[in-house]
Each structure stands twice: as structure tokens, then as C-alpha cells.
Amino acid sequence: MNPIEGMLREGSLKEKTIIVTGGGTGLGKSMARYFLQLGANVVICSRKLDVLEATAKELETETGGKILPIACDVRKTEQIEGVISASIEAFGRVDGLVNNSAGNFISPTEKLSYKAVDVVVDIVLRGSYYFTLALGKYWIDHQIKGTILNISTTYSWTGSGWVVPSAMAKAGVLAMTKSLAFEWAPYGIRLNAIAPGPFPTKGAWDRLFPEELAKKFSFENRIPLKRTGEHQELANLAAYLLSDFSSYMTGEVVTLDGGEVLNGGQFNFLKDVTDEQWAAIAEQIKNTNKPSRNGGE
């Protein structure tokens, strides 16, 4: 496969300031990089300031863009408000938000403590609605037509065992996306979501595919397009959804998973049938049709 290139033209996010939660690592970092390349000012925030500062330095050098790292636990409203004021102070206003921060790990649900459930739900759901609410109030007060992108998952609607707190929280984020897309449309505020399939990141792989499992889990068998996602593919879609090119799109969730979610199709088990078996099956089915065609039983 050829390397995936940036999709939007130069300057597509010029004069926009975008906050990316969890922007110091993984997919958040890749989105931040591309937004900077497209001319946006970017604010990255999460708990670990040292990680954010190292990312900011790296991306500033690489892109020549303006990036502000700020420590913020998305479960704390006063810290969220601090990020918004610091962003306005640095860049004049805020135009976009990516709710990307998350906590997740696999576990049999009955083995979880109450705190273990809370920690995931609070980062994902509470963090996303706190940030959304704080920015929404600011945008409505200042008549800014802001845009929110929520990073969801495909199990927001299929459900999934062994990641139940994450599934509950991501489903809530999806409900918020669609509900507020309608309610805030009169203000020109748009909300959309991306449901990614597997995109290799250290954060996700350490907690969801630890070595023991990774050996057994075959992405090639599971994903119809037979590969995991490239970060630039997700960054391209994210940039489009935050840009004015998508200004007629709101309340949408775009799946980007190589077809993984389609595994639930009822007859998909037929993928293992050989050509020989197909020939025999076709013959059998045709034979059962014959009597009825001749008017018999």
C-alpha cells in the first residue's frame, strides 16, 4: 500500500483554534500534527504535562505551527475552564474541540471494582460532556459556530463484552453527539463522531491487546480489508469533520474500521466456504428448486 497522504489542501484549518484532549499521545497526537500542518492553532491537554510538552516541542519543530500544551484532567470542570481561558488568551478564540481522551482496559466485568468502572466512565463520558458543555456555553454566548468531534468506537452501538465501562461511556458520548447536534444546530454548532476500528497505539495495545492476547488475535482474519488503520487516515477524516468543508454535516458518526464491524453479518461465516463447496451447494439448491418449477411438491 502507498503511504497515506494528507487529504485536505494547505490552509484548510487556517485561523481555527482546535483543542485536542489526550493530544500528547496516540491518535490525538496524530490529529494534532495534521491540524497544525493545515494551519490551525492547536491546544493539547491531558494529565501528564511532561508528555504534552515533549509532543508540543516535537510537533512545533516538525510543522512550524503554534501548539499550546496544558495539563488538564477532563474529570475536573475547573481545569477544563482553565484550558478554555488559556486557549482564548493565547489565540483569541476557540473554534473546535476533539473529545479524544479515554481510559480503557479489558477485564471480565464481574472482576471490576466500582472504582475501576468509575475511572473509565468518568474519563470518557463525564470528560466529554464537561468539555462539550463548557465550550458550548462559550460558543453560544459569543455567537461562535464551533465544531465538536467525538472519538467513539464501533461497540458504541454493537456493545462488547470485556470492555463494558468503555462501551457504556462511548454509547453515552454518541447519544450526546446526536442529541446536541439537533439542539445546538440553530447556533450553528456542529457535532460529529468517528468510530475507529483498530489503529495501533501504545495506549490501546498495552491495555487491550497485551502480549498474551496479541499472539492469538488475528487482525487479518477479523478485518475484511486485512489491515489495521493508518493514523493519517483517521487524521484526514478528523480534519475534514472540523473544517468548513463538512459544514452541512452534523450528528453523524463515521465508521473507519476496514469493515471490522460488519463481522456481525448473519451469513458472514460463509467466508470460509471453498469454491468446490460452493459448486456443490449451488447444485443442491438448484435441485430443491426443480420440483416447484415443474408444478410438483
Ligand X SMILES: CCCCC/C=C/C(=O)SCCNC(=O)CCNC(=O)[C@H](O)C(C)(C)COP(=O)(O)OP(=O)(O)OC[C@H]1O[C@@H](n2cnc3c(N)ncnc32)[C@H](O)[C@@H]1OP(=O)(O)O
Residues in contact with ligand NDP by CB under 6 A are 21-22, 24-28, 46-48, 51, 72-75, 100-104, 123, 127, 151, 153, 196, 198-199, 201, 203-204
Q: Does 146 bind ligand X (CB under 6 A)?
A: no
Q: Candidates 12, 37, 166, 246: give the one binding ligand X (CB under 6 A).
A: 166
Nearer to ligand X, 26 or 146 (CB): 26
Q: Half-sphere exposure (CA, 13 Å, Cβ side) for 116?
A: 13
- Which partner from the list ligand NDP, ligand X, none does 107 bind, CB cut-off 5 to 8 Å by kind? ligand X
Q: How far is the CB of 26 from ligand NDP (least distance, A)?
A: 2
DSSP state of 154: T
- C-alpha to C-alpha distances, 222 to 9, 60, 269, nearest whole angstrom: 34, 37, 11
Cell triple for 81: 475552564
Q: Does 153 bind ligand X (CB under 6 A)?
A: yes
Nearer to ligand NDP, 216 or 293 (CB): 216
Nearer to ligand NDP, 39 or 172 (CB): 172
Residue from 129, 138, 155, 240 carrying the catalytic annotation: 155
196 and 171 in contact (C-beta within 8 Å)?
A: no
Cell triple for 169: 461511556
As a whole number of angstroms, the distance between CA 14 and CA 38 comes to 7
Which residues on neighbouring strands pair with residue 194, listed in sequence order?
151, 254
As a whole number of angstroms, the distance between CA 259 and CA 268 comes to 12
| Residue 193 backbone class (left: φ over 0; alpha: ψ -120 to 50; beta: rest) | beta
Q: Candidates 1, 3, 110, 115: give the one binding ligand X (CB under 6 A).
A: 115
- Which partner from the list ligand X, ligand NDP, none does 119 bind, CB cut-off 5 to 8 Å by kind? ligand X
Contacts of 73 (CB under 8 A, 6+ apart): 47, 79
As a whole number of angstroms, the distance between CA 147 and CA 136 comes to 9
Interaction mask 80-99, ligand X, x per CB under 6 A: --------------------
Is residue 129 annotated as part of the catalytic site, yes or no?
A: no
Which residues in this chain contact ligand X in the complex, by CB under 6 A?
102-105, 107, 112-113, 115-116, 119-120, 153, 166, 198, 203-204, 207-208
Give catalytic residue positions: 155
